């Protein structure tokens, strides 16, 4: 009983978070920045913040994460970190020679009030940023929002690099949101099958799932290039996958450069993938090939073959809003019942959306934005579920309450595979169902008395 102190009785809490279902803004900003080719993320704050952000990403992606820091001392903590950042920019370009530095702020530099745009301008004026090199900056104070907000802010900053040429390039921008590198690969595969030329940004495929070659490369071959980011202003449209992660960047391209955007859900599960495929073929002016239709048919076949094992199973899901919205819809579509839904990211519209998706549920549904895992545990103690879907931190609740756990989301610190096996698209839907089904049937096997222990399901 690792969480033995979690009481069953629920008290109203307004100023206390226990076991948060989120992490800090710069982690999201750093992940997004790693999706730019030749980019070195830079944490404008003290070393401890940067070490934490890097180690969290390293533990999830099982890859070394390179990032620089302004390395605040007592002096910069009081008088501001301008001198540190200017020196850092100069040193980074001369020692590591990235194409671009993506700076994000931290609690400390935000509290001091460092003016990032002014420092970046000074860096150009004083020659710290060499000709042809780029520094972008995102404001990511962690006392508001979450890692999702930080991701979104950095992606919006990337979109702000777009430069119109006055001529459309025929491409479609896809902003995938915070998904795994393999999910980004899968989105590119689907777009290629449909015959739509896309710019995916950010794109961490080939960066955080790159092969072990025996040689260290400071900047892996993956990532959206600076030229591609600049070209986003000339696209024929933008598909933003996820209101929380991607919509702000898409709207910026729409209002600033007249690139029309559609805000979609992340393509997890059948219906959300249907909408994504339909939007992609519409904006790209193409048709859906038979191969995609076959993949869809395979997912439907899986659902129909195994439906009896999913039917009316109660599920607790915890994670980030965009992912949870699609997952809740997917579970409802296969007659599973997401009864507890928690995200640490703020936003009442998340609660409204989940209530709308689950309104046909046969069980009461509890949903909370800006919630925590302590509350989730209390809900489960009062009325248990059949399955938990969430990140590694759910393993404590899973163990204490003896409930199977499907690891999905961020961070996954104690398992492998999430960088390699996509969960977006129809094939990804099969992957999700396979994981859910294996967990449920493993539990059935474990609990079955000998006379009911089945060889074939």
Closer to ligand SF4 by Cβ: residue 10 or 144: 144
Q: Dihedral, CA atoms, 223, 229, 234, 236, nearest 10 degrees?
A: 40
Q: Does 52 bind ligand SF4 (CB under 6 A)?
A: yes
Residue 434, classed as helix, strand or coil, is helix
Distance CA 432, CA 410 (A): 15
Q: Does 49 bind ligand SF4 (CB under 6 A)?
A: yes
Of 68, 100, 107, 334, the residue at the interface with ligand SF4 (CB under 6 A) is: 107
Determine the interface stretch with ligand SF4 among 44-52, 226-234, 316-324, 392-400 (rule: CB under 6 A). Answer: 44-52
Q: Does 106 bind ligand SF4 (CB under 6 A)?
A: yes
Closer to ligand SF4 by Cβ: residue 20 or 195: 20
Of 6, 22, 26, 316, the residue at the interface with ligand SF4 (CB under 6 A) is: 26
Q: Does 20 bind ligand SF4 (CB under 6 A)?
A: no
* Residues 139-178 as x/- pattern, contact with ligand SF4 by CB under 6 A: ---x------------------------------------
Q: Does 24 bind ligand SF4 (CB under 6 A)?
A: yes
Q: Do 62 and 416 form a contact (C-beta atoms < 8 A)?
A: yes
Q: Does 138 bind ligand SF4 (CB under 6 A)?
A: no
Distance CA 155, CA 246 (A): 7
- On the question of a cis peptide bond just before residue 323, with omega within 30 degrees of 0, the verdict is no
Closer to ligand SF4 by Cβ: residue 142 or 173: 142
Determine the interface stretch with ligand SF4 among 45-53, 121-129, 158-166, 391-399 (rule: CB under 6 A). Answer: 45-53
Judged by CB under 6 A, the number of residues near ligand SF4 is: 8
Residue 150 Cβ, how far from ligand SF4 at the closest point, in Å? Answer: 9
- On the question of a cis peptide bond just before residue 411, with omega within 30 degrees of 0, the verdict is yes
* CB crowding 277-314: b at 16 or more within 10 Å, else e: bebbbebbeeebeeebeebbeebeebbeebeebbeebb
Residue 145 Cβ, how far from ligand SF4 at the closest point, in Å? Answer: 11
Q: Does 373 bind ligand SF4 (CB under 6 A)?
A: no
The DSSP string of 179-222 is: --HHHHHHHHHHHHHHT--EEESS--TTTSS----SS--SS-S-
Closer to ligand SF4 by Cβ: residue 107 or 376: 107
Residue 141 Cβ, how far from ligand SF4 at the closest point, in Å? Answer: 7
Distance CA 220, CA 193 (A): 25
Tokens of 228: 């591609």
Q: Does 33 bind ligand SF4 (CB under 6 A)?
A: no
**CA-wise closest residue to 41 among 59, 56, 23, 28:** 28
Q: Does 68 bind ligand SF4 (CB under 6 A)?
A: no
Residues 324-363 that bind ligand SF4 (CB under 6 A): none
Q: Does 284 bind ligand SF4 (CB under 6 A)?
A: no
Sign of the Cα pseudo-torsion (106, 112, 115, 121, in order): negative
188 pairs with which residues across the strands?
none
Residues of this chain that interact with ligand SF4 (CB under 6 A) are 24, 26, 45, 49, 52, 106-107, 142
């Amino acid at each position: 009983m690792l969480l033995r102190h979690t009481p069953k009785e629920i008290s109203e809490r307004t100023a206390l978070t226990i076991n948060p279902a989120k992490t800090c803004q710069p982690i999201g900003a750093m992940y997004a920045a790693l999706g730019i080719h030749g980019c070195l993320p830079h944490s404008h704050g003290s070393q401890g913040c940067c070490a934490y952000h890097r180690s969290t990403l390293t533990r999830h992606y099982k890859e070394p994460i390179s990032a620089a820091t302004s390395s605040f001392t007592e002096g910069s903590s009081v008088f501001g970190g301008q001198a540190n950042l200017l020196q850092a920019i100069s040193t980074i370009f001369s020692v590591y020679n990235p194409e671009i530095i993506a700076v994000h702020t931290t609690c400390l530099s935000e509290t001091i009030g460092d003016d990032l745009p002014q420092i970046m301008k000074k860096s150009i004026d004083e020659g710290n940023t060499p000709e042809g090199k780029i520094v972008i900056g995102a404001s990511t104070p962690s006392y508001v929002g979450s890692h999702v907000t930080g991701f979104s802010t950095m992606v919006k900053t990337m979109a702000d690099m777009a430069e119109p040429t006055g001529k459309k390039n025929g491409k479609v921008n896809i902003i995938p949101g915070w998904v795994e590198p393999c999910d980004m690969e899968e989105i590119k595969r689907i777009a290629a099958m449909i015959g739509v030329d896309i710019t995916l940004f950010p794109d961490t495929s080939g960066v955080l799932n790159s092969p072990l070659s025996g040689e260290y490369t400071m900047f892996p071959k993956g990532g959206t290039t600076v030229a591609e980011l600049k070209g986003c202003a000339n696209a024929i449209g933008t598909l933003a996958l996820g209101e929380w992660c991607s919509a702000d960047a898409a709207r910026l391209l729409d209002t600033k450069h007249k690139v029309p955007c559609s805000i979609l859900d992340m393509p997890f599960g059948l219906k959300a993938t249907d909408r994504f495929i339909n939007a992609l073929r519409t904006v790209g002016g193409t048709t859906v090939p038979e191969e995609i239709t076959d993949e869809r048919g395979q997912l439907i076949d899986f659902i129909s073959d195994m439906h009896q094992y999913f039917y009316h199973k109660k599920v607790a899901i915890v994670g980030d809003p965009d992912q949870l919205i699609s997952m809740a819809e997917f579970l409802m579509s296969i007659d599973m019942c997401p009864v507890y839904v928690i995200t640490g990211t703020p936003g009442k519209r998340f609660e409204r959306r989940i209530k709308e998706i689950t309104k046909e549920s046969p069980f009461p549904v509890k949903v909370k934005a800006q919630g925590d895992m302590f509350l989730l545990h209390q809900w489960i103690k009062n009325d248990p579920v059949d399955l938990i879907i969430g990140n590694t931190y759910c393993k404590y609740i899973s163990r204490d309450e003896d409930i199977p756990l499907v690891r999905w989301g961020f961070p996954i610190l104690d398992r492998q595979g999430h960088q390699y096996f996509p969960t977006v698209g129809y094939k990804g839907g099969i992957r999700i169902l396979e994981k859910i089904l294996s967990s449920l049937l493993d539990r059935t096997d474990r609990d079955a008395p000998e006379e009911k222990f089945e060889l074939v399901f």
